[in-house]
Amino acid sequence: MKPYKKYRDLVGNTPIIDLTHLAEDVHEDVQILAKCEFTNPGYSVKDRIVAHIFDKAEEEGRLRPGSRVLAASSGNTGAAVAMMAAWRGYKAFIVTSPKCSQEKMDAIRAYGAELVVAGSYMAEAEKMAEEDPDLFDVDQYANPLNPEAHYHSLGPEIWDQTKGAVTHFTCGASTGGTICGVSKYLKEQKGEVEVVMADPVGSVFYEYFRTGCLGEARPFHVEGVGKAGIPKVMDFELVDDVIQVSDQEAVETCRKLAQDDGLMVGGSSGLNVYSALKLARRQKEPATIVTVLVDSGLKYISKIYNDDWVAENVYQHTCK
């Protein structure tokens, strides 16, 4: 019989698309490309890290059918854990924030996972792990396998798909796994590659990068990026610059992509594309800028594609 792939084998090797037509007033030889991470089985970039973490744990005998796994997540990692736990025979417990979209919460439950919603969701997951040592904690914020997954997959794919022409990489950060793993790989191939973090206004990363001091976080609505503290996985030595992006800029970019290009993506993808466009306008020489379309906009219909929610939470909300 002819061998065919299973759904679980489709993680990674995502397409890369050209978004240069979105740019205005840029050097004629500047190109903007984006990895379509919403084509992963769980519709987000987080499938990469969960597959890598689970594979390593299984090789070491720490995970086997019947194991119980735990993940603190703003949504996408939780969905990836729930999905992969379903097909590997684990019981998943996901702890997320009230900020998580209803669609992502519903997806986590649909995969059969138990969902806990807590304001201090990372602290709640730590407490659960301490109280039950038999739980396997994915621990994406401190687990070095997080950036390692991107070092071994997303980074090489970007390099190969651009045939080494990439000059800039920009994306948001939460755990720091994506930006650090990709940065490490690309800089090893070509040291002059510039890596720029896109950070929501209200997150502490921008000020920490500029001053080395941890400022006070302020509210923002874009999910899956930014933080109130510095995760252990984050390595600012691998970041060359930080661009701030407001909720409004990120959301309006998402809605423009959907309405003008038929490309429906999540808020962090809007943030990434806005950063890429801003970075493109800075270039005085030829450049190939690569960013990441993190997940599908179908996970945010009730939020960034809902006029009432946007009016109440974006246009009436300002971070000073």
Query: How many Cβ atoms sit within 10 Å of the Cβ of residue 216?
Result: 8
The CA distance from 199 to 206, in Å, is: 6
Q: How many CA atoms lie within 13 A of 200 on its CB side?
A: 28
Cα–Cα separations (whole angstroms), residue 184 to 187, 210, 237, 255, 306? 5, 21, 10, 32, 38
User: Residue 194 is which amino acid?
Assistant: E
Query: How many Cβ atoms sit within 10 Å of the Cβ of residue 315?
Result: 12
Pick from 49, 48, 277, 14: which is nearest to 157 by CA?
A: 14
Q: In this structure, which long-range contacts are made by residues 188-194, counting pairs with CB atoms below 8 Å and at least 24 apart in sequence?
A: 189/159, 189/164, 190/164, 190/166, 192/167, 193/166, 193/167, 193/168, 193/169, 194/167, 194/168, 194/169, 194/240, 194/241
Alpha-carbon dihedral angle through residues 242, 243, 244, 245, given to the nearest 10 degrees: -140
Cα–Cα separations (whole angstroms), residue 117 to 87, 173, 175, 218, 296? 24, 22, 19, 21, 22
- Burial class of residue 64, CB neighbours in 10 A (0-12, 13-18, 19+): exposed
Residues marked active site are found at 46
User: How would you classify the pairing of strands 16-18 and 30-36?
Assistant: antiparallel
The CA distance from 85 to 133, in Å, is: 18
